[in-house]
Structure 1
Amino acid sequence: MALAKGTRLGPYEILSFIGAGGMGDVYRAWDTRLERDVAIKVLAERLACEPRSLARFRTEAKSIAALSHPNILSIYDAELEHPPLFLVTELLEGVTLRQQIGRSAIPWRRAVQIGSEVADGLATAHDARIIHRDLKPENIFVTARGAIKILDFGLARFKPAFQGKPGSRATTVSEGGSLMGTVGYLAPEQARGETVTAATDIFSLGCVLYEMVSGHRAFNLASPASTLAAILNDDPRPVADYVADVPEELDRWIGHCLRKDEKARPQSARDLGLVLRDLLAEPTAHGRTGAEFESLAVLPFFTSASSPDAEYLADGITETLINQFAQLQHLRVIARSTVFRHKGKDADPIELGRELAVSAVLTGRIFQRGDVLVIAAELINVRDGLHLWGQQYKRPLTDIFAIEEDISREISERLRVRFAPREQSRLVKRYTESPKAYQLYLKGRFLWNKRAIESMRQALRYFEQAVEEDASYARAYAGLADCTSMLAIYGALDPRLGGKRARAAQEMALQIDPDLSEAYASRGFSLLLFDWKFREAESVLRHAVHLNSGDAPAHQWLGFALGLTGQLEEARGAMRIAQQLDPFSASINTTAVFPVYWAHLFEEAIEGFRAAVELHPGYWMAHYYMGLTYAHKGEFGQAILALRHAAEIGDSIWRYSGLGYVYAQAGRPQQARSVLKKLDELGRHQYVPLIYSAAVYAGLGETDQAVEWLRRAAEQRDWMIAWLHVDPIWDSIRSDPRLQGIRVDLGPKP
């Protein structure tokens, strides 16, 4: 009898019926304790009293529980004593291999990839002394993401030892005399009721490979008896008789798997998996290997609903891997903000890879339970959908460094990345030996990436705790510098204090690690906006991109430095590189238009800011600068609409400055003065940069007031003074002799 929606089996609530099998029904359910979707396999009532069926059900539970591998279905829980009996497993979305074979032919490369992953799963089972004994397309599942899972260990046999030690015989015949397994996929020794070994599963896998590649079953005659006779006595036709473009070596290895003598077959599923992967990497007609890759997207790692506190770990590990691979000269890596647009979306990674124009994607899932961390990662070839690598790690949280290093090594090997000098060591470089400091750092970066004032304040506290935990943690000092700088940029911190703290943190980071590119990028940022030393900033930022050519923000700030020294074409070139590295970054797509805006090319600037707004409608700064550009064109209605929207969605007081300026330019002095009043009121309770009021006075044409507020802003080292000689807002007062005392250091060209 089918279970109704809402039925409770212990802590599990039935959501919907998935399907029926020989042993019972399978349901989608909700785990109310861990708050996650699961699958529940309920043993049919009629079988609960049959000793043989009950034994098979319990065997399946124990077999899966004994194994942990990304290519084997994971079990979470079981009720094996009191009816209804059930197993709780991970919920899989997709189709069985049988269904996929029925839909369309499987290209030989994809078939070999599936076979290699099944071999990997079998190797883990065999290491645990478990033989599946019923491997067939119905018991192999292809998830919606293309991952492979081995199902149904109900006929599995635990063996005390392998290779036929005396007394280790595992029968393949039931008490009633019937064969245990599926005719057509049984090995000869199973058909004869003899001992099963690892080679038995390899024969069955050979049958599956044969069927996937050729489109025909290896042994499929008119009756079960004649099929068994063929298994015992006949060899199937070569795969090449059915498919013309199959490599001879693949045909031979399938034949090896189907040898009658079990000793003539591959004796290790792990070795078979390696052989199959080597076939995928055979040289092509052009002399290149099929496993060479030039670009990678590390997609945001998923977290379980039951591990909400692990989100910072998932994001942090994703960002760490991106940063590590971005340092490799021969590998193009998609930047963080671009891939994080897809965070939380259950999209097809192959389709995302094609959208991002990369040749491979890395996906992963993270589950944290107390101090135990489970990470499953998979590398997928975007070109043909093949799985290049997959692994699951279940280790203490303190082993997070080793897990990241293992993933980095495996990915670089699978992609066959060519290393430049020193890149190998950078790939697995540890910036701290303290897991606690690293977790604090990840929490800081997680909050920093939200780019909101309050989250950056919280991030600052985590970075401070990280350096308290490990005073030699260079990256944590770089995080401190970034936070203090950005808080000053947003007007939430006095720039004199922010610049001083940022410089101290940058110096500590570079003393500890003179090759830390992000510290150089942060230093160039400060030189540019707090010290107004544009040429020196340009030199430092060029060094940052030399150390890490994949650092999009470093290219972005280099574009700023070039633009502020009048090198507008070079600035646009640097910004284009930043956009190529991070094509969906709100900040980069907005600031990439600045060189055009500074050059007073307002028509082109409008198009650029409008494109940024369309891409990121929630990013207030894109609306802000689009509004200012409309104002410089004299289109005040459009300008006010854009700036009002920026004021509504922004979190920086800065956003009011432009609105007051445009009200004044549009002939609305009363509204402009209301903005001045608002800035004055806010300034009584918090730091408000004086340059914001100076902009409104400039719009009103009150030059004396504007110049006085600019002079005072310069004394406060307000970062926007750096734009005094380029921003069109100051066109009307820039030539005032009273401003000549405010100097920026252009210096000699580096």
Structure 2
Amino acid sequence: MIILLCVGFILAIILSWIYDITPEGIEKTRSLQETREELPEKHSRILAWKIATFISVVVIIGLVIYNILGNTGRSGDIHGLEKSIAVLPFEILNSDEEYAWFGDAMTDEIILQLQNIKEFRVISRTSTLRYKNADKTIPQIGEELGVNYLVEGTVQRQEDEIRIRVQVIRAKNEAHIWGNMYDNQWEDIFDIQSDVAKQIAHELKAILSPEEIKKIEKNPTSNLEAYHLYLKGRWFWNKWTEENIKKGMEYFNKAIELDPDFALAYAGLAQAYTVLSFYSQLHPEKAFPKAKAMALKALKIDNTIAEAHIASALVKVYYDWDWEGGENDFKKAIALNPENITAHHLYAYFLVLLTRYDEAMVEIQKALKLDPLNLITNRTLGDFYYHMRQYDKAEEQLIRTLEMDSTFTFTHAYLGLVYLQKSLCQKALDEMQKEIDLDLGNDFMITAWKGYVYGICGYKNEGSDILNNLLERSENEYIPPTAISWIYFALGESDIGFDWLYKAYNERDHWITEIKSNHFFAGIHQDPRYKELLERMKLY
């Protein structure tokens, strides 16, 4: 259409110079000499009008062409840019506490929807969450996260009425790409989420496949109250403390009561049980069988849920010691959602257990690309360097993590282990004490690590004191047998250490899965009992 207008303008200019409109009708333009002789003044006015018209038309054509080229350039710019996106935490406009969770919940759901689009690289929530209420410009955030586009918005909910504002911004120059305001009812929430994903895909020139559209339009449940409870459960779960994880599990169970076929709620419970086995003193027999049952239930309802495959993988690896089955589940989870940072992260840890370090580094780097400011992943990278005996890199990475958050769990402790390998005993003990002083709920494990450090550094009395304290505590609470074996080995009491290691084997203590990779077992590698355990666990 625009091209036809341009051609029309050009023809109009040509015709205006050949013909004149007169009271007698359309006449061919007279020669210059004839016109000067007959109507010099009239000719001057006509000539001036023609010149002005000509200049105006040329300017208009120029603006049209500029607009065409400009739009083409912007379109080409979008086509040429990597479709990397970060969804910033949505601001909650409610003043009451009842819906305090709603902004973060919608942020997570939009991220999950955009992750369904293969052309997009979407930064995970833990990195973007750091910019909640942050005093930084859009270009600064884009540069720090390594993305070209930012999605931001606000949410408000009052009972069944919701208002959601979403906009997409080009990070480099803060250009507005797309935006919309949704004034709807809670029953429309799934339509809103899918519309946001499809509109963003359209504006960023992403071509959606039928499979991607199906995923985007898929509703996780038909019960909106169950969905409400599930979102609250995820909000508590994401706080990653024992108390909040248990609170999240309560909401997952309530959601399942309303919708017994809510696969995501079962997957949430499965993951919660596995995490509690690591971050609390929940006995493996009370955690992993329940996690397995929930994961299987989720997969029976919907085997396309990556989270359910992750939970299943954790059970197979850390409880069943089914290494092949666990790896297959991790790979299925990644195939279903290549941008699931948890899948890459936990698969990387699995590879470390098998001392497949090169592959592990590939996976952890994928996780970091998806979530560059994720504290767990950054700490884990330092841990991997420690396992690989690259202690300088491990120290550098763990210090970098502490610069991001000096209170992040297990980071001081891992740094202490690095110093131990560098024969810096006092610095190792200092870091262990810093971790204990944080009181983050993992004192039983960090205390065991400190007892191990005392033993290796020759402080036998101090190591024995910690050992006796843990032995006493184990009579009334669950202390992983593997943790006690570490201290016995460090104190040179290998026979008793193996007794506890066999106890760990019989109880399916998940910490024993590190028997091949953890330096705590370095002193017993030549013992036949060590090799026997590796064979029993199919790790030899």
Q: For the structure 1 residues 247 and 332, does the alpha-carbon distance in structure 2 shift closer, same or farther, using more than 3 Å as the test?
A: farther
Alignment correspondent of 1:111 = none
Deviation at 1:289, TM superposition (A): 5.7
1:666-688: CA deviation from partner (whole Å, max 9, x where unpaired)? 22233223322432444344322
1:417-443: CA deviation from partner (whole Å, max 9, x where unpaired)? 123451111122211111111121111
Alignment correspondent of 1:672 = 463
1:525 and 1:569 map into 2 onto residues whose CA distance is: 21
Tell me if structure 2 keeps the 8 A contact 1:337–1:584.
yes
Q: Does 1:386 align with 2:203?
A: no
SS at match of 1:283: helix
After alignment, is 735-744 or 436-445 more displaced? Answer: 735-744
The partner residue of 2:408 within 619, 622, 636 is 619
1:658-708: CA deviation from partner (whole Å, max 9, x where unpaired)? 111112222223322332243244434432222222222222122122111
Deviation at 1:577, TM superposition (A): 0.8
Alignment correspondent of 1:102 = none
The partner residue of 1:476 within 265, 270, 277 is 265
1:8-57: CA deviation from partner (whole Å, max 9, x where unpaired)? xxxxxxxxxxxxxxxxxxxxxxxxxxxxxxxxxxxxxxxxxxxxxxxxxx
Alignment correspondent of 1:370 = 159
2:437 and 2:522 map into 1 onto residues whose CA distance is: 27
Q: For the structure 1 residues 290 and 740, does the alpha-carbon distance in structure 2 shift closer, same or farther, using more than 3 Å as the test?
A: closer
Alignment correspondent of 1:454 = 243
Q: For the structure 1 residues 341 and 247, does the alpha-carbon distance in structure 2 shift closer, same or farther, using more than 3 Å as the test?
A: farther
Alignment correspondent of 1:512 = 301
Q: For the structure 1 residues 392 and 711, does the alpha-carbon distance in structure 2 shift closer, same or farther, using more than 3 Å as the test?
A: same
Alignment correspondent of 1:580 = 369
Q: Does 1:248 align with 2:41?
A: no
Q: For the structure 1 residues 547 and 675, does the alpha-carbon distance in structure 2 shift closer, same or farther, using more than 3 Å as the test?
A: same
More helix by share: 2
Deviation at 1:347, TM superposition (A): 3.6
Tell me if structure 2 keeps the 8 A contact 1:447–1:459.
yes
Q: For the structure 1 residues 367 and 677, does the alpha-carbon distance in structure 2 shift closer, same or farther, using more than 3 Å as the test?
A: farther
Tell me if structure 2 keeps the 8 A contact 1:292–1:417.
no
After alignment, is 630-639 or 736-745 more displaced? Answer: 736-745
The partner residue of 1:334 within 123, 132, 144 is 123
Q: For the structure 1 residues 667 and 240, does the alpha-carbon distance in structure 2 shift closer, same or farther, using more than 3 Å as the test?
A: farther
Q: For the structure 1 residues 244 and 719, does the alpha-carbon distance in structure 2 shift closer, same or farther, using more than 3 Å as the test?
A: farther
Code of the aligned partner of 1:745? K
Alignment of 1:666-705 (within 5 A): 666-705=457-496
Code of the aligned partner of 1:443? K
Tell me if structure 2 keeps the 8 A contact 1:301–1:366.
yes
Alignment of 1:193-592 (within 5 A): 247-248=64-65, 250=67, 282-284=71-73, 294-304=83-93, 306-592=95-381
Alignment correspondent of 1:744 = 537
Deviation at 1:645, TM superposition (A): 1.1
2:251 and 2:170 map into 1 onto residues whose CA distance is: 37
Deviation at 1:383, TM superposition (A): 3.5
1:735 and 1:284 map into 2 onto residues whose CA distance is: 67
Q: Does 1:725 align with 2:516?
A: yes
1:358-389: CA deviation from partner (whole Å, max 9, x where unpaired)? 12111111122233222111111224322222
1:592-642: CA deviation from partner (whole Å, max 9, x where unpaired)? 234432233333322232222223322121211111121122111111111
Q: RMSD across aligned C-alpha pairs, in angstroms? A: 2.7
Tell me if structure 1 keeps the 8 A contact 2:473–2:479.
yes
Deviation at 1:394, TM superposition (A): 2.5
1:637 and 1:576 map into 2 onto residues whose CA distance is: 32
Deviation at 1:340, TM superposition (A): 0.8
Q: For the structure 1 residues 699 and 656, does the alpha-carbon distance in structure 2 shift closer, same or farther, using more than 3 Å as the test?
A: same
Alignment correspondent of 1:74 = none
SS at match of 1:363: strand
SS at match of 1:393: strand
Code of the aligned partner of 2:137? D
Code of the aligned partner of 1:659? K
TM-score, length basis structure 1:
0.61
After alignment, is 346-355 or 428-437 more displaced? Answer: 346-355
Tell me if structure 2 keeps the 8 A contact 1:533–1:746.
no
2:61 and 2:511 map into 1 onto residues whose CA distance is: 68
Q: For the structure 1 residues 709 and 280, does the alpha-carbon distance in structure 2 shift closer, same or farther, using more than 3 Å as the test?
A: farther
Tell me if structure 1 keeps the 8 A contact 2:395–2:415.
yes
Alignment correspondent of 1:76 = none
Q: For the structure 1 residues 295 and 285, does the alpha-carbon distance in structure 2 shift closer, same or farther, using more than 3 Å as the test?
A: closer
SS at match of 2:73: coil
Q: For the structure 1 residues 679 and 400, does the alpha-carbon distance in structure 2 shift closer, same or farther, using more than 3 Å as the test?
A: farther
Tell me if structure 1 keeps the 8 A contact 2:94–2:157.
no
Deviation at 1:408, TM superposition (A): 1.8
Alignment correspondent of 2:11 = none
Q: For the structure 1 residues 368 and 700, does the alpha-carbon distance in structure 2 shift closer, same or farther, using more than 3 Å as the test?
A: same
In structure 1, list runs of 5 or more residues that go unmatched: 1-233, 251-278
Q: For the structure 1 residues 554 and 423, does the alpha-carbon distance in structure 2 shift closer, same or farther, using more than 3 Å as the test?
A: same
In structure 2, list runs of 5 or more residues that go unmatched: 1-51
1:393 and 1:411 map into 2 onto residues whose CA distance is: 15
Q: For the structure 1 residues 715 and 573, does the alpha-carbon distance in structure 2 shift closer, same or farther, using more than 3 Å as the test?
A: same
Tell me if structure 2 keeps the 8 A contact 1:374–1:392.
yes
1:393 and 1:344 map into 2 onto residues whose CA distance is: 23
Between the two structures, name the one with larger relative contact order (CA 8 Å, sep ≥ 6).
2
Q: For the structure 1 residues 363 and 288, does the alpha-carbon distance in structure 2 shift closer, same or farther, using more than 3 Å as the test?
A: closer
Q: For the structure 1 residues 746 and 729, does the alpha-carbon distance in structure 2 shift closer, same or farther, using more than 3 Å as the test?
A: closer
1:546 and 1:293 map into 2 onto residues whose CA distance is: 21
Deviation at 1:487, TM superposition (A): 0.3
2:323 and 2:367 map into 1 onto residues whose CA distance is: 19
Tell me if structure 2 keeps the 8 A contact 1:441–1:463.
yes
Q: For the structure 1 residues 247 and 695, does the alpha-carbon distance in structure 2 shift closer, same or farther, using more than 3 Å as the test?
A: farther
Deviation at 1:480, TM superposition (A): 0.5
Deviation at 1:523, TM superposition (A): 1.7
Alignment correspondent of 2:391 = 602
1:245 and 1:671 map into 2 onto residues whose CA distance is: 84
Deviation at 1:479, TM superposition (A): 0.7
Tell me if structure 2 keeps the 8 A contact 1:329–1:420.
no
Q: For the structure 1 residues 285 and 499, does the alpha-carbon distance in structure 2 shift closer, same or farther, using more than 3 Å as the test?
A: closer
Q: Percent identity?
A: 28
Alignment correspondent of 1:271 = none
Tell me if structure 2 keeps the 8 A contact 1:660–1:696.
yes
Code of the aligned partner of 1:656? T
Q: For the structure 1 residues 561 and 281, does the alpha-carbon distance in structure 2 shift closer, same or farther, using more than 3 Å as the test?
A: farther
1:673 and 1:542 map into 2 onto residues whose CA distance is: 43
Code of the aligned partner of 1:406? D
Structure 1 segments (4+ residues) deviating >4 Å: 237-241, 243-247, 285-293
Q: For the structure 1 residues 658 and 522, does the alpha-carbon distance in structure 2 shift closer, same or farther, using more than 3 Å as the test?
A: same
Q: For the structure 1 residues 292 and 425, does the alpha-carbon distance in structure 2 shift closer, same or farther, using more than 3 Å as the test?
A: farther
Deviation at 1:550, TM superposition (A): 0.6
2:522 and 2:252 map into 1 onto residues whose CA distance is: 40
The partner residue of 2:526 within 735, 743, 748 is 735
Q: For the structure 1 residues 655 and 421, does the alpha-carbon distance in structure 2 shift closer, same or farther, using more than 3 Å as the test?
A: farther
